[in-house]
Structure 1
Amino acid sequence: MAAEIEAYARRLAAAGGERAGPTQAKMLAGELRAAHGRARTVRDSAAAALHYHHGWTFTQLCTVIHGRPNKVAAVREAVEKAARTRRTSAARAEEALLLAQHDVRELWALYKRAKALEAAATDDGAGPDVILDLPSEPRALISTAAAQLRDVSCQHADIVQRRNRAAAALTVHAGWSKRQAAGLAGAAVRDLYPQERTAVRGEAEPHLVAGLAEEARQLDAWRAALIQARDGAIRELSATVGPAELARLAQVSDERVVQIRDGKADPE
């Protein structure tokens, strides 16, 4: 794993020098946390080999892993859950444990640096630029915006489902925590649970999740701009056109038109 750790260290150094954005920092942190989890699995298997094959006590293992016997219960739990490995000499088993523990510590240190980089990364808060193609005449604008909103909403729903499924794949197949995968996706943790059963290994790619998250943000911005333009036209016409006609043009309810007209509409 030494080569993998060196590669992560180089990426982290480069990201720090280039002042990484939030997405890049989140990807690095997520990948490092997953790598740390894999290293812990290797370490726990090595510890289990020493315990089951060579009689090491949990106190001895805890002292090697944590420097002192203060987390014996946690070591016991990890060893009992670990996969059994074939028997090797005590010297080789001990060497495997020491190497694996070194990897665990190195990856945890890199992960903490990545989290610090993520915390320092700034987002200017500006959404994607949106250029609308709408007629200037208010009636035509409302009907055209309604049609475009229908299409954009369908696209958005599809992208969000794909984004959430890919984020769930990171948790199921790549060892990411749900919180970090959801953070990269710009989703809530609860959004990932329904997608776990259909998550496929081929979609467990941080760059795929980040790309789909960006598409979702762009569609969100487009949808918000269309709603703003439609609502402005509805308010412009509301003095001379009744709610029923405006609702027909906008493909919304009469009640919604009244809420828009009165400035009391909830976000769609």
Structure 2
Amino acid sequence: MATTTTRFDTYRGRLTQAAERASPGQATDALILVGELRAAHKQAIAERDAWAAALHYHHGWTFTALCVAMHGRPNKVTAVRTAVEKTRPARRLSKSRAEESFRQAQQDVQELWMLYKEAKELEKRANDGGPGPDVVLDLPGDAPQRAVAAAEQLSAVDAEYRAAVELRNRAAAALIVHANWPKRSAAALAKAAVRDLYPHEKTAPKMEADPQLVAERAEDARRLAERKAALVRARDQAIRALSKSMGPAEIARLVKLTDERVVQIRDGA
């Protein structure tokens, strides 16, 4: 009981601290809390259902009585029956001790749900601060050299970005597999699509099931994406400038693109 109370107090303290933080830290903290609380709530339901099964099988509680104890009224008896029948009962205790364990587990479920809803509200309110500062590029002023430098840097940054995305997605998948995070919560923290995490679920290492690590890797990927976008703009601007005096084939050799792509960029496609 004391350990559970301490855990809830810790969650409340983190919610308070997150609410007081400036963006974008607030948004990251909120996303982490949403994922952790949803996973904790899911685990609490499993523990509650195990004690419900113990009351039913060991002490004769009806599904209706269990439904009223869980939901306040007998309107979800079928769902309660389904949950109990697929759950392994908790260890056999005296009726009074089993009932007390069930009541405490039910309180944990309700408390965690309330904390989860608070975290979701904080997530909605949190502002990521909008776009970050403009990316500063170190490129020559001369148009041909600028086009070549932008293309070379873009190739390197693109490779870094792809690697960063893979690391980010792998860590997010580790939260799903090893920390019981919901898929949507893990994807939201990683700023990725749920489908991007599927390929990593079988190989995600347990040591990477760390929400702070996911947040850091998501930020790395975001910064690289911004730099990549800035280099694309710089390269395309240089291509358009060069198009006034050079043909597509010559420009294509400079920037290592096809003639067709150079024409598309020149024409604003």
TM-score range, shorter chain: over 0.9
Report what 2:50 is aligned to: 45
Match for residue 115 of structure 1 among 113, 120, 139: 120
User: 3-state DSSP class of the match of 1:211?
Assistant: helix
Cα deviation code 1:44-96 (max 9, x no counterpart): 11111111211211111111111111111111122122233321111111111
Q: Does 1:239 align with 2:230?
A: no
- Distance in 2 between residues matched to 1:77 and 1:210, nearest whole Å: 37
Q: Does 1:218 align with 2:212?
A: no
Q: Structure 2 counterpart of 1:96, which letter?
A: S
User: 3-state DSSP class of the match of 1:199?
Assistant: coil
Is the CA contact 2:37–2:116 (under 8 Å) kept in the aligned structure 1? yes
In the TM superposition, residue 128 of structure 1 has moved relative to its aligned partner by 4.8
Is the CA contact 1:46–1:96 (under 8 Å) kept in the aligned structure 2? yes
Q: Does 1:254 align with 2:259?
A: yes
- Distance in 2 between residues matched to 1:88 and 1:82, nearest whole Å: 17
Structure 1 residues not aligned, in runs of 5+? none
Q: Does 1:188 align with 2:193?
A: yes
Report what 1:127 is aligned to: 132
User: 3-state DSSP class of the match of 1:198?
Assistant: coil
In the superposition, the TM-score normalised over structure 2's length comes to 0.94
Report what 1:263 is aligned to: 268
Q: Does 1:21 align with 2:22?
A: no
Structure 2 residues not aligned, in runs of 5+? none
Q: Does 1:161 align with 2:166?
A: yes
- Distance in 2 between residues matched to 1:231 and 1:243, nearest whole Å: 13
Cα deviation code 1:15-63 (max 9, x no counterpart): 2233562211111111111111111111111111111211211111111
In the TM superposition, residue 202 of structure 1 has moved relative to its aligned partner by 1.2
- Distance in 1 between residues matched to 2:105 and 2:235, nearest whole Å: 60
In the TM superposition, residue 112 of structure 1 has moved relative to its aligned partner by 0.6
Cα deviation code 1:126-175 (max 9, x no counterpart): 13542211111111111111111111111111110111111111111112
- Distance in 2 between residues matched to 1:25 and 1:128, nearest whole Å: 23
User: 3-state DSSP class of the match of 2:93?
Assistant: coil
More divergent stretch after superposition (121-130 vs 252-261): 121-130
Is the CA contact 1:33–1:176 (under 8 Å) kept in the aligned structure 2? yes
Q: Does 1:77 align with 2:82?
A: yes
In the TM superposition, residue 216 of structure 1 has moved relative to its aligned partner by 0.4
- Distance in 1 between residues matched to 2:234 and 2:85, nearest whole Å: 61
- Distance in 1 between residues matched to 2:132 and 2:21, nearest whole Å: 22
- Distance in 2 between residues matched to 1:18 and 1:25, nearest whole Å: 10
* Percent of paired sites with the same residue: 58
Is the CA contact 1:134–1:145 (under 8 Å) kept in the aligned structure 2? yes
Report what 1:98 is aligned to: 103
Is the CA contact 2:52–2:89 (under 8 Å) kept in the aligned structure 1? no
- Distance in 2 between residues matched to 1:21 and 1:15, nearest whole Å: 5
- Distance in 2 between residues matched to 1:76 and 1:110, nearest whole Å: 27
Report what 2:71 is aligned to: 66
How many pairs align?
264
Report what 1:12 is aligned to: 15
